[in-house]
């Protein structure tokens, strides 16, 4: 297991404009990535903003999937973020974990935001995703999932890094800034959370607050209100040290989680 170099994109998203978003993100990455990276993380629904307009949903061979393949190939790294997918008559808020060779894994958002009527549009997922990169076990999730500690529970070190991609509004930014370090400390794992900035088409403001927190709760990266493409490393040594010298999860309660097919 080696240190992992990660690039985060915190940026403005053009409302329901796939072409403009893909163009803008591509340009921002080109100007912002000045060194080799192994993982690029984009926000939730990075190609449209947080919209329930199903006319914008794409098939799994759509233009955004092709774009993700191109970005992964260009930077020779994994790229991840979520988008609206139509599949077998259902719609999903789906995270894609795209490898440089064009193969990918996927995770469908489990906890749909009922206050935003997300549950009326999307079908919830039922399985977590754990992927590996350079010896790191990584668990990517989407926005509202952050609020549910049972879903992010990390007993037996199932993962080393929790990723949250989001469209999290500024009016609940205090919750965001509180929950991210809580998840890192309680799960003895790094947490990288990537949000958008600016107003969306519903006049909801997003302050970003993208961050990386280590297993001790230390801030490795934090950015508020501004667009930012930033590359940093997460330390394998610090992760191992934290778990070795304070193995409190050995004392954790054990229980079984039963996931229903629908919320």
Classify burial at 87, counting beta carbons within 10 Å of its beta carbon; exposed 0-12, middle 13-18, buried 19 or more.
middle
From 44, 58, 118, 170, active-site residue: 44
From 143, 170, 212, 223, active-site residue: 143
Q: Is 241 a catalytic residue?
A: no
Q: Is 109 a catalytic residue?
A: yes
Contact at 8 Å (CB) between 228 and 8? yes
Q: Count of residues for the chain?
A: 263
Measured over the CA atoms of residue 22, residue 27, residue 31 and residue 35, the dihedral's sign is positive
Classify burial at 88, counting beta carbons within 10 Å of its beta carbon; exposed 0-12, middle 13-18, buried 19 or more.
exposed
Q: Rounded CA gap, 212 and 203, in Å?
A: 27
Please name the residue that has the structure tokens 């233009």: 63
Residue 123 dihedral angles phi and psi, to the nearest 5°: -95, 130
Q: Rounded CA gap, 224 and 115, in Å?
A: 25
Query: What number of CA atoms fall less than 13 Å from residue 28's CA on the CB side?
Result: 22
From 38, 58, 77, 109, active-site residue: 109
For residue 90, give Cα distances in angstroms to 77, 97, 106, 122, 165: 30, 20, 15, 7, 22
Q: Is 170 a catalytic residue?
A: no
Q: Rounded CA gap, 245 and 242, in Å?
A: 6
The residues carrying an active-site annotation are: 44, 109, 143
């Amino acid at each position: 297991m080696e240190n992992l170099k990660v690039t985060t994109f915190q940026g403005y998203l053009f409302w329901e404009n796939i072409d403009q978003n893909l163009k803008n993100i591509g340009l921002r990455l080109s100007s912002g990535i000045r060194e080799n990276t192994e993982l690029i993380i984009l926000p939730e629904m990075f190609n449209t903003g947080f919209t329930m307009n199903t006319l914008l949903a794409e098939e799994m061979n759509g233009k955004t999937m092709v774009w993700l393949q191109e970005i992964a190939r260009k930077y020779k790294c994994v790229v991840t973020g979520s988008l609206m997918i139509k599949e077998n008559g259902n719609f999903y808020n789906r995270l894609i974990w795209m490898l440089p060779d064009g193969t990918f894994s996927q995770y469908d958002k489990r906890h749909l935001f009922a206050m935003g009527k997300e549950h009326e549009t999307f079908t919830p997922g039922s399985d977590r995703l754990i992927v590996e990169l350079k010896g790191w076990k990584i668990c990517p999730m989407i926005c509202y999932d952050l609020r549910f500690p049972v879903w992010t529970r990390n007993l037996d070190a199932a993962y080393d890094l929790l990723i949250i991609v989001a469209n999290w509004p500024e009016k609940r930014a205090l919750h965001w800034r509180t929950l991210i370090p809580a998840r890192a400390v309680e799960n003895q794992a790094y947490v990288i959370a990537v949000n958008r900035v600016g107003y969306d088409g519903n006049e909801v403001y997003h302050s970003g607050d993208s961050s990386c927190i280590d297993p001790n709760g230390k801030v490795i990266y934090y950015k508020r209100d501004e667009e930012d493409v930033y590359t940093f490393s997460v330390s394998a040594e610090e992760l191992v040290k934290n778990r070795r010298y304070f193995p409190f999860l050995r004392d954790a309660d054990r229980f079984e989680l039963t996931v229903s097919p629908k919320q």
